[in-house]
Amino acid sequence: MFTFLHAADIHLDSPLRGLEAYQDAPLEQIRLAARRAFDNLVELALDEKVAFVLLAGDLYDGDWKDYNTGIYFVNRMGRLREAGIPVIMVSGNHDAASQITKSLKLPDNVTLFPHRSVGTLLLDQYGVAIHGQSFSSRSVMDDLVRNFPQGDPALFNIGLLHTSLNGRPGHEPYAPCTLDALRSKGYHYWALGHIHQREEICRDPWVVFPGNIQGRHIRETGQKGCTLVSVDEGRVISVEERELDVLRWAVCQVDPAQCDSTGSLYDLVRESFEDERAKADGRPLAVRLIVEGVTALHVEFHENALQLREEFRSVAAALGDVWIEDIVMKTRKNTEPVGRGADDSPVEALLKSVEALQLEESTILGLVPEFEKLRSKLPSELLSDGDPFRPDEDELSLLREEVKELLMAKIAGGRHEN
């Protein structure tokens, strides 16, 4: 009987995006989050006395800024070497052979599979054969599985691969393959990487995406970690998720329908934050707050949007290690707002014109021309995983409504002042 750890998408020294604006945010803790999560992985391997550790790609987030990233990794591998724990890894799209220009000699307990062909490592003391192939470049669109050898029926066979499988939303379709192709190889376990959300694809054989070990932005919510696998007499007897993350991301959505005042809305928001904080089990929490629903306070919310946002941030601050990544107001009115004029009044006509506006994407983005200036100065590789200044259709629809609501609130406010 033996156990092993399967992790992927470490993204060492990748920044966490969305908390930089906080003056009192724990910037050092945020900056080192990926390293601290990886330290947790190393400690788990030592505590569980695992037979070996598998890393299924994207150990690095890209080329190193300096050698400190590599020195850190070599140091942690040295700890596992002292404990007699080998580490077997492949590179993925972020740390492909063509992406990493700096290098350091790896400890002899670390095996990096080649990118030109499939490599096989035999661990005779466990009766294990591990097969894997690294990425040669950032964009690998070939099916690498067809190059993998058939499993040796006398051994426990593991496939190590960075792949999109048959595609997943939000991830580039790198090294596509099918579940049938994986199963055809006769392996007992496929250790996959690239998809940042944990997913058990199949149990006969086991095909697992462990997810990344640390969420890096609001699209990577919930617990993050690795997979601990136990094997006895040549078969998998347990597959366990183990948490490693040191900071957690969450989306808190509240419905203001029953709120009769901004004070009751603050209470509702506080309860939502407290619920997520409890789930984080003592970890700092980064939250996106979404206030969505029909409410009689709709116009009041938009007229006092700035103060409302600061109050929400105050609610989070009072709870301790809770920071708001963003606040999204998606309320809708259920009654004609107070202050609207008669149906034939000039104010009413103007408000109706604003409501009927069909704002084009170029018009909305043109409201902040600095975005386009900044975008033009960014290197193309920074935009390869998506343009941060180009909203998707849902975000664009939300922006349209927010612009219209702000205009209507200004008109209504001006009427009150007159």
Do the beta carbons of residue 398 and residue 364 sit within 8 Å? no
Alpha carbon distance 302, 91 (integer Å): 48
For residue range 288-306, list pLDDT tens digits in order.
999 999 998 888 888 888 9
pLDDT, tens only, 238-281: 999 999 999 999 999 999 998 999 999 999 999 999 999 999 99
Res. 378: pLDDT tops 90: no
Domain boundary among 212, 243, 274: 243
| Same structural domain, 175 and 316 | no
Q: Do 270 and 405 belong to one domain?
A: yes
Identity at 305, one-letter amino acid code: A
Tell me the backbone φ, ψ of residue 62, rounded to 5 degrees: 150, -170
| 115 and 182, same domain (yes or no) | yes
DSSP β-bridge partners for residue 7: 55
Same domain, 321 and 361: yes
Using pLDDT thresholds of 50, 70 and 90, give the confidence band for residue 363.
low
Same domain? For 25 and 86 the reply is: yes
- What does the pLDDT average to over 325-330? 90
228 & 271 share domain: no
Domain containing 387: what range? 248-417
**Residue 332 shares a structural domain with residue 376:** yes
Task: Note the Cα 62 to chain centre separation in Å.
Answer: 16
The number of domains in the chain is: 2
C-alpha dist (Å) from residue 294 to 146, 257, 258, 288, 342 = 53, 6, 9, 20, 23
Taking only the tens place, the pLDDT of each residue in 19-70 is 756 666 666 677 789 999 999 999 999 999 999 999 999 999 988 888 999 9
The DSSP code for 90 is E
Q: Is the bond preceding residue 205 a cis peptide, omega within 30 degrees?
A: yes
Confidence of residue 387 (pLDDT cuts 50, 70, 90): low
Whether residues 207 and 268 share a domain: the answer is no
Q: Which two tokens stand for residue 103?
A: 């290098």
Looking at residue 340, its pLDDT comes to 47
Strand, helix or coil at 313?
Answer: helix
The predicted model gives 338-364 an average pLDDT of 58
Question: How high is the pLDDT of residue 375?
Answer: 58
Can you tell me the mean pLDDT for 186-196?
97
Strands (E), 57-100: 87-90
Strand partners, 145: none
